[in-house]
Amino acid sequence: MQKKILFPVVAVAVLAVMLAGCAGSKATGTLQFYANGEDFVRQGFVSKDGWSITFDHVYINLSDIAAYQTDPPYEATSGGDIDPAATVAVDGEYTIDLAEGDENAEPLLVAEVADVAVEHYNALAWKMSKASSGPAAGYSLVIIGTAEKDGESLDFTLNIDEECDYQCGEYVGDMRKGIVAENGTADVEMTFHFDHIFGDGDLPADDELNLAAVGFQPFADGQDAAAVINMTDMHLGHVGEGHCDCGCQ
């Protein structure tokens, strides 16, 4: 009698635990991380002080990359640390050439993480750190290009060794990003606005962007990039048109 009762009891208990576990399993998808120097890098532009700049290479070294689901949504303008409900982290460091490809090139895939939870990843963080190897070894940002003005042509290389932490809210652009559906692929984007460093000749001289930018003339005059550029003030990192909280040292 005891055996007749014991076996079915154990069988039901085991089955209950297994099925309950299956019923609770979460759906997953894939999240891709992109880097984008925008048309300013791919097509060149005119600086606030009239230099026509084209870029051969823009090496940026990225690490500590992570996307987050936050609720309430993280507001970069308020600053503070991101308090995530879910995290997708990318291991390692990546040196990306933002000028790679032709003038119509797409944003560059940095990393892809599979089997991430189905969420709307509405915050993004990364570090611009000194590269341990490769074309930007020892620097976090290396800009190589040519600047022309009034018949004068200058080949230049600007090396930045400041390391910056960027904490950003949701991507702002034509379409929303970071929305992972079951068995689907979504993407998030680290966007870099180089007009913040050189200014934009298409904007008025007293435009806020141009007032904050250093332009190109200091480099044409032979000044060192590290002495001229304060990366915290440049606000280089964005998420599309969305802002990031930035700290550099």
Partner 1 sequence: MRGKWYVLVALGVVALGLAAPLPVSAHGVNLEYTSDVTIEITARYDSGTPMADAQVTVYAPDDDTTPWLTGVCDEEGRFSFVPDTSMPGTWDVQVRLAGHGGIIHIPVGGGTTAADGVGGFTHLQIGLMSACVVWGAVGTALYFSRRRKA
Q: Residue 227 — φ and ψ, nearest 5°?
A: -85, -25
The residues with which 94 forms a beta bridge, in sequence order, are: 62
- Between 88 and 225, name the residue whose CB sits nearer to partner 1: 88
Q: Residue 72 — φ and ψ, nearest 5°?
A: -65, 160
CB of 23 to partner 1, least distance (A): 5
Binding test (CB under 8 A) with partner 1, winner from 64, 173, 217, 226: 173
189 is a site residue for partner 1 (CB under 8 A)? no
Q: Taken in order 171, 31, 187, 37, is the CA torsion positive or negative?
A: positive
**Strands 185-192 and 28-36, how do they pair?**
parallel
**72: preceding bond cis by omega (within 30 degrees):** yes
- Between 20 and 227, name the residue whose CB sits nearer to partner 1: 20
CB of 139 to partner 1, least distance (A): 27
- Between 21 and 92, name the residue whose CB sits nearer to partner 1: 21
Largest CA distance in the chain: 102
Interface with partner 1 in residues 44-73 (CB under 8 A) = 72-73
Binding test (CB under 8 A) with partner 1, winner from 163, 170, 187, 189: 170
Q: How many chain residues bind partner 1 (CB under 8 A)?
A: 27
Interface with partner 1 in residues 98-127 (CB under 8 A) = 120
Cα radius of gyration (the chain): 24
Q: Which helix (H) or strand (E) holds 36?
A: strand 28-36
Helix, strand, coil percentages (3-state) for the chain, rounded to 5, are 20, 40, 40
5 is a site residue for partner 1 (CB under 8 A)? yes
Interface with partner 1 in residues 209-248 (CB under 8 A) = 240-243
CB of 241 to partner 1, least distance (A): 4
Interface residues with partner 1 (CB under 8 A) are 1, 5, 9, 12-13, 16, 19-20, 23-24, 72-73, 77, 120, 169-170, 172-173, 175-176, 179, 193, 208, 240-243
